[in-house]
Structure 1
């Protein structure tokens, strides 16, 4: 993912590093030129000394009159090997420790060039001389290896480049710190949005927002406003439609139930029984849709939070469900203790009812259902456990989707029960977990609430 901080650092540091590279190349060039010039001039000193001690001999080549000790002292260096030679213009060697061809363009002014001798790079100074009392010229060459030059070059380069490197590193740190500080308002904006729940569609505060980000915040606020209006319209439509359906469905169900009490042929009785079942399903769906409308994001104005005891909510609901459980020969038990939460009484009642309804629907005859609520240090816990069909682990997230039902599920559910439970849990800052009981079969629904703030 692109990072604004990385982009800023890249666009700031690439030119800075490019300038450092150019400065380094320039410094290397200057240092190399300076070192070469200084050391080349130093080679002229032994040439001058040597030229003063070259002597002619009749019928013999010139000789150097310096003593061996003086020659050794003259051509001894602490770091480099120094060589010399005296040759004729035709490359005839008269004397010396160097055996190197002479360039054809050597004149009476010193000439410097690079060469190789014994596999090593050397720097050579050459000059053409006319000896006193002779018409013949000689060429004197002094050569030395490059150890001193390279060492001096790198030391000079380090002295020139090191401050630039230190300044660049300091600039990198300061630029990074400056960018981090400059992006603090964006981090605050991110935290403001991240902390919000699905139900909070308030406009994002525009105070202290950088002017560059203000258009984004404007667009986000417009989106939130449009989203709130769309959700509000959807909620009103859903609630109105469900409410309008409840009255005729209730009347229809009453009429069908009255009709079933009358004497009628068996085939007609079967039709009315199916009609009653369909009516009950439609009524259940309308009630579920009404509940869903109350827990949609943006419906906080419909929620009334208060301090409640889950045990007092669960106990009467178990009594209401007991008849359905007995019809299927289910063992419906409970383990209740005082469990304090902060929530909406109607919505929490709906949450518990849906969990119990699901457990009864999907537990086979002679099974068991256990409802528990208890208090922990981490908050209140509500559990509904059964040894029914269970939910495969791979589908436990999908069953929280609206209108989703596991293939092959028995009964006539509409696929909204667990979706409603999940929405109500989120509305209360709680979490819903779908687990497998310790016996290895069935389902254990666990709703964990945050601690109550006193």
Structure 2
């Protein structure tokens, strides 16, 4: 079936075989499903119409043929076989036959002896009656006489009693009528019914074609509105302007636009934040490099180079955290699709091993407390490892030399509405975070002042985003062991147990 613009799409190639396949046409498929049953049922309707027409055409001719048979049988009952066929009434019937005509008649005795009429009429399978009071039962059948199709009506009757003689046996009366007249009538009925359909059906197809085209016109209008949009216009489509049947499709497109808009906003924010945050350390690196170029004392030059190395390391850490935050925000739905049950002890151990040297360089006591049994959660191993690394890195960064950092894993049973969970806790002996600022530190680039360390302000933002994707809760508090002039900080992440 022809396709409308609403359903047209550029042909696409199938997996590397170079074959091109046209997209399926919604207009064509609907038209096919509407017209195919009709075109299949049309021949069936013609056949049924012909059978019905034959039945309709047979009724008046059968009625006339039965009337003629009963007329002849009545003559036989009163005048006998020979008298009946010579009677004026029967001769008049032969001269003015009923509708359909008479091609032959026959009167036979019970033994099959021809008493009157034509001998070529076939005998019916009809037993003679046992007594004269039996009702006159007419038997119908189709047959052939001289190669022509005929309709035969037959019945047994009793001739009159002769005075002084025993009553004669029953006789068989048959009348035959040609099938030509009723066939012509059936054909005329069929033609009267079918011929107009050859005009009506094409008109119906054109009306269906036109109506379907008008029905999918809103799709064309929706397509035109989308094509007229600017490349940067990803605002939602007004669902009120779309037909109810495609409202779910429009809703899905709007959902896609929303996710795309969120992704673009995240990218724009990343570019702006990256430009702002990297500009300062790069300016510092440039200044340190210029100072190093002016140094003539080897010791001062080495100190400047060490300072440049530290600045490069901090800048690298900043860039890596920016990338990690953006990746975590963009991979939310994708990551959820590949979540699987895993033992949280494994990404925790890998994060501890990766940052152990950093803690040793600061002369910190790094402790890992985990039960021997698996602690299974549902999540993404790399994202969970990134979460733990940021928690540990923050704790190591803000804990002064000689302090301690503890990573603790433990399982807790479900209580009431709270399901069983796995708790991940990182304790440090650093300056901690004032309670008034604990809600603010999860915002990107927010840093607590006067904490004695430099950071990017991205670590806890990354932790919060990854925790959100895993339906986990993050809370900040002081560890129970805080004291002795050090407040410390405990970061607890509560995962649902798998």
Shorter chain as normaliser: what TM range? Answer: 0.3 to 0.5
Give 1 or 2 for the bigger CA radius of gyration. 2
TM-score, normalised on structure 2?
A: 0.41
